[in-house]
Amino acid sequence: MGRRLPPLNAVRAFEAAARHLSFTRAAAELNVTQAAISHQIKGLEETLGVPLFRRLNRALVLTEAGQSYLPPLNEALDLIAEATARLRQAENQGVLTVSTISSFAARWLVPRLPRFQALHPTVDVRLSSSTRLVDFTQQDVDIAIRFGRGHWPDLAVERLLREDVFPVATPALRDGPPPIRHPSDLRGVTLLHDDFTINWADWLRLSGVDGVDVSRGPRYTDSGHLIQAALAGQGVALARSALIADDLAAGRLVRLFDLALPSELAYWVVCPPHYLRRPKVRAFRDWLFAEAARTD
């Protein structure tokens, strides 16, 4: 049998007014007008069929019915508040599962995660790396970072990082011998290819350089492996800016030329819209964008 409950807003109004014995102070506590408190309590009295207050000239006094009604309401509202606090605490701690591609996890996310853990020590991040799109209806994933054009219906989608693509190498490879000073110098070096992004032919066409054999050189389907090869001095990589930001900042890699190609793809934070009401998901989303601002 269903519970027959009075309007809960009216119950809150009565409980606050009864504690304070003042409609004015109850209105201030609940951030509503005094007229709203009076209206809610009048409606509650009509629903119950009994008066709860006696309104005197300069005082508000509980009736006998109001006095007997108040203690169990206090206890019930306290239980609701405690249950809500426990739920919020549980939602703000425990495991947070993040889905992303392995190259982004290794080159950008993992090095920054200690800063998130320092801010949120009760949240344990679990990384799930895959090139497949996560299905939030079937998989236990809280939030995802995807690489693409941002078209995923029925999800909250926010661009995290845009990307440019440009040649990079170690300082030693740049300085030679022979040194690499102009795009035409690429004719004499090994080109490292990322099969996942803009190819060398596009970049060389924009630079106006010909005579470079773009069919030669190692090829990688994982951008992280491409960067590892560049860090090992194995050649010049056409690299994605977001994935090499830390290596450029540390001087492990250097950008060879000013010319860059903007990628049509970007990194996006995605999840079902209502997931963002979960405190730990919202905290991670906000932290991601703070870190992206630092990267830019």
Residue of 145, 90, 114 whose CA lies nearest to 280: 90
- Whether 143 and 98 have beta carbons less than 8 Å apart is answered as yes
Q: Cα separation of 124 and 267, whole Å?
A: 23
Tens digits of per-residue pLDDT, 151-186? 999 999 999 999 899 999 999 999 989 999 999 999
- Whether 108 and 245 have beta carbons less than 8 Å apart is answered as yes
Which architecture, in CATH terms, is 8-91? Orthogonal Bundle (1.10)
CATH number of 94-296: 3.40.190.290
User: Which backbone phi and psi does 115 adopt, to 5 degrees?
Assistant: -70, -35
Q: Cα separation of 223 and 195, whole Å?
A: 8
- CATH 3.40.190.290 range(s) for the chain read 94-296
Q: What is the DSSP string of 130-193?
A: -SSPP-TTTS--SEEEEEESS--TTSEEEEEEEEEEEEEE-HHHHH-SSP--SGGGGGGSPEEE
Single-letter residue type at 253: L
DSSP 8-state code for residue 106: I
Tens digits of per-residue pLDDT, 228-260? 999 999 999 999 999 999 999 999 999 999 999
Long-range contacts of 248-252 (CB under 8 A, 24+ apart): 248/168, 251/171, 252/170
Q: Which residues of the chain have pLDDT under 70?
A: 1-2, 85-93, 296
pTM: 0.67
- CATH 1.10.10.10 range(s) for the chain read 8-91
Q: Which residues pair with 124 in a beta bridge?
A: 95
